[in-house]
Each structure stands twice: as C-alpha cells, then as structure tokens.
Amino acid sequence: MLFKFLQETYSKNISKFLEMIFLTLMLLSLPSFEAPKNIFLILFLTTTFYREWSQKKKKSWEFWDWIFLSYILSSFLSAIFAGISTGEEWGGFRSILIWTGFAWLLSRSKYNPQEISWIIWIAILGTLPPLIWALIEYMVIHTKSALELHSVGHVNHSAIYLGIVLGAALSVSLSNWKTNGIFKKLFSLSLPIFFFIAIIIGQSRGVFGVSLIRLSLIILLIPNSKKIKLMAFGIFGIILALMPIMDAGIIQKQIANQNLNDVLSDRERVWNVSKETTNVYPIFGIGNGNWGHITLNDLKKSRESRNLSFDEKIYGIEHRHSHSIYLTALIERGIVGFICLILLMASWLLLLIRTYANFKKITQGACLWGCSLSAWIVTFGVGVVNTTFHHEHAILALLFLGLHLSFVNLISTKKLKVLTNHT
C-alpha cells in the first residue's frame, strides 16, 4: 500500500518521494524506537531543506517565519548567555532548533489533502504498537510500574503524547463520518475510545482533565449532525460514568493525594525552585536543560542577597525540571524566551480561530484543524502543570502545527471551491 501510494504520487519527483518516506518512517518510530526516529528525522529535515532551498521560485518571508525564527533565537541567546554554563545548554538549543525547524519546513510546504490524510493516519496508527506493548508491560507481565510508551518514557510524557493522538483520532473519525462506510466508522471511532481509556489507565490527571475539554470542543466544532454529536458525547459519557464503578486508578490517585494534602503532587516545591532562580537570571535564563544543575546553595545565595530567610524544605530541587512549560521557558530562557513562547502560543491560537471557517468546509481541513487544536490544547493546557513541548510530544505537536500552516498555503493558492468539491 505504501509503495503503491508513493509510486503513483511521486514518480516524477524523487526528492518529494524521499521526503515522504523519511517522514513516514520517522512517525512510525517516534513513540517506539529512539535511534531510528532521530535518524529518519534528520534525513527528513535534510531532504525537505534541500527541496525548499532548490526551488526556483522562493516563497516570500511571512509572519510565521518570524515566529519560528524568534523561538529559535531565544533558545540560541539563552545558550550563549546561560546563567549556569555546563555545556548542556547547547544540547538543549540543538533540540529546540530541530523541533522548531521541523515545523518551519513543514509550514513552507504545500502538501495536498491526500498527503495530509496519509501523514495523520501514520501518526495515529504508529502509536498503537507501543501502546499495546505498554499496556501488556503494565497490566499483564508487570515489568513496568506505570503506562509508558517505549521511546517516549515517563508516564506523564507518554500521557501527553497520547492526549495529542486522542484528539487527532477523534478528529479523523468525526470529519470523515459522513463519507465512511460502516466498517471504517466503527474502526475510526474505536481509536479515540481506546486512547481515552489508555489515558485513564495512565492516571495523568492533567492530561485527563484537559482531554475532557478538548474532546468536547472537537465534537462541537467539527461539522456533523446533532445526532452524531450526541452519540459522541454519549460514548465518552458512558466511559466517565463507568470510572467510579470500576474504581479507576486515576480516581484513587486523586483521593490519595487529597488525603495527603498534596493535590499538586509536590509541584509547589518544584515551582518555588524555578521562581527563585528566575530572580538571579531574569533576562536569558540559566540555559536550555540546565534546571538539574541548580543547587540549594544557589537558592540560598539568592534569598540572602535580598535579605530574605531561607528554608530548604520548601524547594523540590530533587525533581530536576519545572513541571510547567511556562516556568521552563522563564527559568531556562529567561524573560526573552518566555515572551517568545507566549507569542508562539498566541499566534497558534489566532491561527486556529482565523482558519476555522474555511477549514470546516473541507474534510481534510476539518480533520487537520481538529488535530492542530488538540496539539495546542494539550501543549499549552497541560503545560501549566507538566513539561510539555518536550522531545517526542513536541515533535508530534509541531507536526500538526506545520501541517496546519502548510494547508493554509495550499488553499491560498487554489480555489476553495475546487478543494471542497474534490473532497
């Protein structure tokens, strides 16, 4: 199927052929295999950059080019002027450069609706094998103490990844509902149900809570009849109703934390570290990835320099990261990096608002818009209490942002009516 699809589409464009091959393989290995995903990502970036650079007619510089550039530059400046210089700040910069460059190159492409559908399906289906294996490890053979996708790692990061995929799967199901046959309808609807149950099993309260908001918005905003919308709400409502009956672990976790008066799972102490360190390195921060090198002595000096008392018990320095995308930006990249993050977040939200009217008229457009919305809500909603925009789930989120911008390029160069009739 893959060979036939690519052969028919790219028989006269070897560069685009390789680009799609590398992107497909990268997405398949993203949640599963550490080395292959990095290799295929670099190969994709290389071929895409070559295609962009070799085009005779260069695409003009636009608003989003400045957004991506500013985000990369803020990370670069934090590496140069790192408040804590360990060398790791350059590794952090390299990661941000790769993730952001990935979205940047995607945004300047013009993928057609068939290509976009293919990429979205690969991103969703590529999550199934590592998720099934993670469930077996956690619930059957008990070699893991939590639900973790093999190459994504920590339970919270795995939940963030699943949260984005959940929204994408629901968007695919609902946007294609009118045209799908009964088998495709059942299969496509089973995917978001499976991912939602997996999130409940994974016990990430932040992702679960944000998932309820995201699912509601996708159901309401993707064009469908009231009957279909009610059906979708009913299905997820039944799952929610069964949670107390099944004594779901996520409920037990919440009750246990409440009894211990620790609803935020010690995050207050972690946030205290970030807020105190920001007073010392406010402009460019301590450098990307240097949170783990903060010491109690650094915090003590900061407090004493302002004639304030110091109590080491209120600082959770052992956690080694901020547990918040916003505090991560503020402490590691300073005020400059924080402003660039907020600018990216606000621009993405504005993009979702401005493109909704046109995208909802096209099947692939409605699907892609829902995927982009899912990535935005998880990244910046869950990001309040977890470090989102990090490694695998950053790449996944930026995939949907890049495709969203690519589709904007497509419909700006073609008549909307032609695309609507085609889909």
Residue 54, pLDDT above cutoff 90 = no
State the pLDDT at residue 418: 45
Q: Which of 27-31, 73-77, 240-244 has the lowest mean pLDDT?
A: 240-244
Residues, the chain, total? 423
Tens of pLDDT, residues 253-277: 777 767 767 666 778 888 888 888 8
Q: Mean pLDDT throughout 386-406? A: 92
Confidence of residue 8 (pLDDT cuts 50, 70, 90): low
**Token pair listed for 409:** 């390029």
State the pLDDT at residue 9: 59
Exposure string over 45-75, b if 16+ CB within 10 A, otherwise e: bebbeebeeeeeeeeeeeebeebbebbbebb
State the pLDDT at residue 423: 44
Structural domain spans, the chain:
1-54, 67-423
From CA 234, how far away is CA 228, in angstroms rounded? 10
Residue 415, pLDDT above cutoff 60 = no
* Residues whose CB falls within 8 Å of the CB of residue 286, separated by 6 or more in sequence, listed in order: 78, 82, 83, 84, 89, 277, 293, 294, 331, 332
Residue 232, pLDDT above cutoff 60 = yes
Confidence of residue 336 (pLDDT cuts 50, 70, 90): very high
Q: Which of 174-183, 299-308, 324-333 has the lowest mean pLDDT?
A: 299-308
Residue 379, pLDDT above cutoff 70 = yes
State the pLDDT at residue 15: 76
3-state secondary structure the chain: CHHHHHHHHHCCCHHHHHHHHHHHHHHHHCCCCHHHHHHHHHHHHHHHHHHHHHCCCCCCCCHHHHHHHHHHHHHHHHHHCCCCCCCHHHHHHHHHHHHHHHHHHHHCCCCCHHHHHHHHHHHHHCCHHHHHHHHHHHHHCCCCCCCCCCCCCCHHHHHHHHHHHHHHHHHHHHHCCCCCCHHHHHHHHHHHHHHHHHHHHHCCHHHHHHHHHHHHHHHHHCCCCHHHHHHHHHHHHHHHHHHHHCCCHHHHHHHHHHHCCCCCCCHHHHHHHHHHHHCCCCCCCCCCCCHHHCCHHHHHHHHHHCCCCCCHHHCCHHHCCCCCHHHHHHHHHHHHHHHHHHHHHHHHHHHHHHHHHHHCCCHHHHHHHHHHHHHHHHHHHHHHCCCCCCHHHHHHHHHHHHHHHHHHHHHHHCCHHHHHHHC
Tens of pLDDT, residues 86-133: 888 899 899 999 999 999 999 988 788 888 999 999 999 999 999 999
Residue 7, pLDDT above cutoff 70 = no
From CA 152, how far away is CA 156, in angstroms rounded? 9
Confidence of residue 417 (pLDDT cuts 50, 70, 90): very low
**Token pair listed for 402:** 């890049």
**Over pLDDT 90: what percentage of the chain?**
52
State the pLDDT at residue 366: 93
From CA 338, how far away is CA 347, in angstroms rounded? 14
